[in-house]
A and B are shown apart, each in its own frame.
Chain A
Amino acid sequence: MSKNAQSPRRVIILGALSAVAEACARELAGEGAHLALFARNAERLEEVAADLRLRGAGQVQIFARDLAGEADCEGALREAGAALGGIDAVLVFYGILGDQARALSDWAEARHIIDVNFTSAAHWVLAAARLIEASPSPRAAILVISSVAGDRGRRGNFVYGAAKAGLSVLMQGLAHRFAALPAPRPRAVTIKLGFVDTPMTAAIEKKGPLWAKPEDVAPVILKALDRGPSIVYVPFIWRFIMLAVRLMPGFIFNRINL
């Protein structure tokens, strides 16, 4: 059911098999959106697509590919846009946590973490920016899932954090660029996600009260797609947590094992 009288939104989702992406896609399906799903497992994509159709999506197209290995991101997005009859939004969800301990001794692992989370994502974002700037849609937007791990490097995951920090700055710059365009201006939204219980974090034991569920964060992410600031901490409590973490003097921070 559409919340407003506008025509159904056409959305490209990169990394549609991520737990957070699927929760967001269900919200979009509920409003009758038309979706193009990108991820690498074709069978799983079919399962998710069938579900989203029954949950109300106007149409669901699937594109099975390795998102870190795409040579022609713009071509792929154009193909999806043609299937949907236009593009209102591109959402970037995919990512890997990687193995920080291994990344310290094994460059291949470190480079993989950076390639997937930053280099390939930057390629998609820059390609999407060209299409979104050219889109006549009044709701044109790019949204990227970054992480609070990018706000301050810490010993537990700073290679991943550095890649996400790079992605956040890229998006921040894009938002600055979009702000100088004539209205209706496209949006460039960075979601700085806190802890969410998903397959990515399944190995972490003892999840305390800071842990959110994908279905809790999805409505907040989609609200940010439409309005509000261009950098959003989700859940909002992380804005204050990260403010404190960033302001913490080094001699204290260095004693905390994170």
Chain B
Amino acid sequence: MTLTFTRSDQIRSWGRVVHASHLVARPPFRDAIDASLALARENGQAVMPYGAGRSYGDSALNPDGALIDMRGLDRFIAFDAERGIVRVEAGLSLSTLIRFAIPRGLFPATVPGTRHITIGGAIAHDVHGKNHHAAGTFGTHVPRLSLLRSDRGRLAVSAAQEGELHAATIGGMGLTGIIADAEIALAGVPSAYIDCDFVPFGNLAQFFALADESAARFEHTVAWVDCTKTGDALGRGIFQRANWSAEGGYTPHRDQTRFSLPFDAPGFALNSWTLRLFNEAYYAFNRRKAGSRRMHYSAFFFPLDAIGQWNRLYGARGFYQYQCAVPMAVGEPAIRSMLEAIADSGEGSFLAVLKTFGTRPSPGMMSFPRPGVTLALDFRNRGAATLALLARLDEIVAAAGGRLYAAKDGRMPAGLFKAGYPEWPRFAALCDPSLSSSFWRRVMA
């Protein structure tokens, strides 16, 4: 069977900043991945695997080059009920994996803020969740995978076999080969529900105190920060800390999204006024409702999934995410400087998320999480003004010895990347010569 590459102008990443043309092939079975790699090689074209396009920037984009859309590879392969290990094709969605796991009393060891990603994408960015301090990253729970390389063919990869390639592929941003399938070690959970405490805090110092006090008692911790506030209230927000509930049963989420944004909102929909209003209302609402609640895992982990295509709220020009991690020793002053810079700029971020990372190491040499604190922000793309603010944030991150998250990036300069990821030369030597993304070309420039 021949596989076709078709030209498409419709491919976007979640931030929707880049509008480019790609040649796209969608292999329906794993045996067709080879053919797509070979075809691209014959044409002298760089290729990139594309998952669900939930990365915000350009790590899955390859403008004017080729993409392999992995979503046709969405099958379960095997399940070992005794060990809780499931083997799946890399294009399977996390959503389907969870619907499989929950009725069996299992759940992925960690999940990010959306279930609409593929397993391949979860491994390639070694995604983290609200329980990073307890469970580590997603890739920590991927004992084995099969990788297709344009130079070496199909390889079985684990810590024991092809250990270097294993360490490079977890968090390898799709550059070390195409992940065809992977084993995922699931964790036992007592129900499909989460008992969550909502604790308002008045400033940044209180956030660090809460995080410190909660880490040992709560598996999941995360905070929302109101980044419109300055002075004494700088860094005020709502802290969430939670554990799996002993009760509630094992009802999975439904797969459909009830409401989806059908078109781009006008660019001005999210402006400094709606931003202030949203932040005030969110804080006031949650302060009034402070206390403990039992929530379904889907409401706790994936609140944004309730509205399909919410990224269109930012208008046709799209938006940038910015997520950094800085060491704990300089965490408080660095986050304070960033929040001040944002308040100064008047750009503001609707969703500012603050979380401490734990010390559990990831097997991935390029994984983003590191012990310390992480701040995630999003900014409507207003061109030069937005980029100037992000450059200002870069300076603070660099001075703090921090790094940025490739899954959330669309513009980080090469210098900051290389400083943040000192393992990059070792990694670059392990990349597949036929694969390249616009992200990679930028940070290697």
Contact = CB atoms under 8 A, between A and B. Distances in A.
A47 B28 contact: no
A51 B77 contact: yes
B268 interface: no
24 contacts: A19-B28, A19-B72, A43-B31, A44-B29, A47-B29, A47-B75, A47-B77, A48-B75, A50-B75, A50-B76, A51-B75, A51-B76, A51-B77, A54-B78, A54-B79, A55-B100, A202-B4, A202-B6, A202-B25, A202-B26, A203-B6, A205-B6, A205-B7, A205-B8
A48 to B, nearest CB: 7
Interface residues of A, number: 14
B329 to A, nearest CB: 47
A199 interface: yes
A54 B31 contact: no
B31 A203 contact: no
Interface string A79-117: 000000000000000000000000000000000000000
B336 interface: no
A205 B5 CA distance: 10
Contacts of B28: 19, 199
Q: Which 10 A-B pairs have the closest CB atoms?
A: A51-B75, A54-B76, A203-B4, A51-B76, A202-B4, A199-B28, A44-B29, A205-B6, A54-B79, A205-B7
B287 interface: no
Interface residues of B, number: 19
A183 interface: no
Contacts of B4: 202-203
A54 B100 contact: yes
Contacts of A203: 4, 6
A204 interface: yes
A44 B72 CA distance: 13
Contact of B6 (A19, A43, A48, A204): A204
Contact of B77 (A44, A50, A202): A50
A44 B28 CA distance: 10
B41 interface: no
B253 interface: no
A44 B31 contact: yes
Nearest to A48: B75
Interface of A: 19, 43-44, 47-48, 50-51, 54-55, 199, 202-205
Interface of B: 1, 3-4, 6-8, 25-26, 28-31, 72, 75-79, 100
A205 B10 CA distance: 11
Given A19-B28, A54-B79, A205-B7, 14 more contacts: A19-B72, A44-B29, A44-B31, A47-B75, A47-B77, A48-B75, A50-B76, A51-B76, A54-B100, A55-B100, A199-B28, A202-B3, A202-B25, A203-B4
Contacts of B76: 50-51, 54-55
A204 B24 CA distance: 12
B250 to A, nearest CB: 12
Contacts of A44: 29, 31
A15 to B, nearest CB: 13
Contacts of A19: 28, 72
Nearest to A50: B77
Contacts of A202: 3-4, 6, 25-26
A28 to B, nearest CB: 15
A233 B26 CA distance: 27
Contacts of B7: 205
B21 to A, nearest CB: 11
Contacts of B25: 202
Nearest to A215: B255
Contacts of A204: 6
A55 to B, nearest CB: 7
A19 to B, nearest CB: 7
Contacts of A205: 6-8
A204 B79 CA distance: 37
Nearest to A19: B28
Contacts of A47: 29-30, 75, 77
B284 to A, nearest CB: 40
Contacts of A54: 76, 78-79, 100
- Scoring A43, A44, A199, A205 by chain B CB atoms within 10 A of each residue's CB, the highest score goes to A199
A227 B76 CA distance: 31
A54 B4 CA distance: 30
Given A203-B4, A205-B7, A50 B78 contact: yes
Contacts of B78: 50, 54
Nearest to B1: A199
A152 B357 CA distance: 63
Contacts of B31: 43-44
A69 B29 CA distance: 24
A27 B72 CA distance: 17
A205 B25 CA distance: 12
A202 B2 CA distance: 11
A199 B26 CA distance: 8
A203 B5 CA distance: 7
Most chain A CB atoms below 10 A, which of B25, B76, B78: B76
A48 B7 CA distance: 29
A54 B1 CA distance: 27
A60 to B, nearest CB: 12
B81 to A, nearest CB: 11
A242 to B, nearest CB: 26
A50 B100 CA distance: 14
Interface centre among A43, A47, A203, A205 (most CB of B within 10 A): A47
A69 B6 CA distance: 31
A19 B72 CA distance: 9
A64 B4 CA distance: 25
Nearest to B25: A202
